[in-house]
Amino acid sequence: MQRRLPDLLIDLAKPAPADLATLFPHRPETIVLEIGFGGGEHLLSHARRRSEAGFVGVEPFVNSMAKLVTALDQEPADSIRLYDDDATQLLDWLPDGSIDQIDLLYPDPWPKPKHFKRRFVSDRNLDRFARVLKPGAMVRFASDIDSYVNWTLQHIDRHPDFAWTARRAADWREPYPDWPGTRYEAKALRENRTPAYLTFVRL
Ligand SMILES: C[S@@+](CC[C@H](N)C(=O)[O-])C[C@H]1O[C@@H](n2cnc3c(N)ncnc32)[C@H](O)[C@@H]1O
C-alpha cells in the first residue's frame, strides 16, 4: 500500500482536470466509475478486458483496497485510478459530464426501515450522478435486497434526469454482458437470494 497506492490515488486536494482523461497515460475516451468495489474482482476483470477505457474505483474499506492494490502490484493496469474514501467526495470533485458509466454493485443494503436514509441511492446522490455523467451514460445498480431494488426504482422514477431501460423481465433478471460476478453476489446466491440487475440511462 505504501509503495503502490500513492501513484494510483486521485488527489482531491488538486483541482480536477478539465479533461478527466488526463488522469490516465492512454487518455481514454470512455471512463467508468465503480463505487464500493469491495474485493475489486469486477473492476479488475473489466479493466483487463477493456484496456482502451479508463476505470476509477472507489472503496473506503482499507482491507478491500489492500486486496486490489496487491493484485495491481502483481499485474499493473495503467487504466485504473483509485479513491479511498466516501464516493460522494469524489463525485463532488469530478467535472460536469465527465463519466460514461457508474457501477453501484451490491451497495451496503441497510435493510431496516430506520436505516434506509443511509443507503447510497438517494435524491441527493442521483443529483450528483446526473451532474458528472455524460448524456446517454449508464448507471448500473445490482442488489439482492428486494426493498433496496424497489427503493432505487422509486428514486429513479421520480428523478427527471434518469430512465430505467428495462423492456422485459430478462433485462433485470439476467446479469450484465461480460459479467464476472462479485464476491458479495456469490454470497447472496449461496444464501438463496435473487439479485436484480438494473440499468438506467442519463437522459
Ligand atoms: C456490500 S459491499 C459490496 C462490495 C462489492 N461491490 C461486491 O459486490 O462484492 C459494499 C461496499 O461499498 C463500500 N462503501 C460503503 N459506503 C461507501 C461510500 N460512501 N463510498 C464508496 N464505497 C462505499 C463498502 O466499503 C463495501 O466494500
Q: What is the pTM of this model?
A: 0.98
Phi, psi of 137 (to 5 degrees): -70, 165
Proportion of the chain above pLDDT 90, given as a percent: 100
> Averaged over 51-61, what is the pLDDT?
97
Of 19, 96, 108, 146, the catalytic one is: 108
User: In the structure, what pLDDT confidence band is assigned to residue 80 with cuts at 50, 70 and 90?
Assistant: very high
Mean pLDDT for the chain overall: 97
Tens of pLDDT, residues 123-167: 999 999 999 999 999 999 999 999 999 999 999 999 999 999 999
Q: Work out the percent of the chain whose per-residue pLDDT is above 70.
A: 100
167-177 pLDDT, tens digit per residue, is: 999 999 999 99
Query: Does 106 contact ligand 1 (Cβ within 6 A)?
Result: yes
pLDDT digits (tens, 9 = 90+) for 3-45: 999 999 999 999 999 999 999 999 999 999 999 999 999 999 9
What DSSP designation does 169 have?
A: T
Span 16-26, pLDDT tens digits: 999 999 999 99
Q: What is the 36 CA–ligand 1 centroid distance (Å)?
A: 3
Cβ neighbours of 128 (radius 10 Å): 17
Q: Does residue 108 have an active-site annotation? A: yes
Residue 105 CA, closest ligand 1 atom number? 6
Phi then psi dihedrals of residue 58, to 5 deg:
-120, 130
Q: What is the pLDDT confidence band of residue 99, given thresholds at 50, 70 and 90?
A: very high
Nearest-Å Rg of the Cα atoms of the chain is: 16
pLDDT at 142: 98
DSSP β-bridge partners for residue 198: 141
Residue 5: per-residue pLDDT: 96
User: What would be the CATH architecture of the domain defined by 5-202?
Assistant: 3-Layer(aba) Sandwich (3.40)
From residue 120, how far is each of 36, 117, 179 by CA, in Å? 10, 8, 22
Determine if ligand 1 sits within 6 Å of the CB of residue 65. no
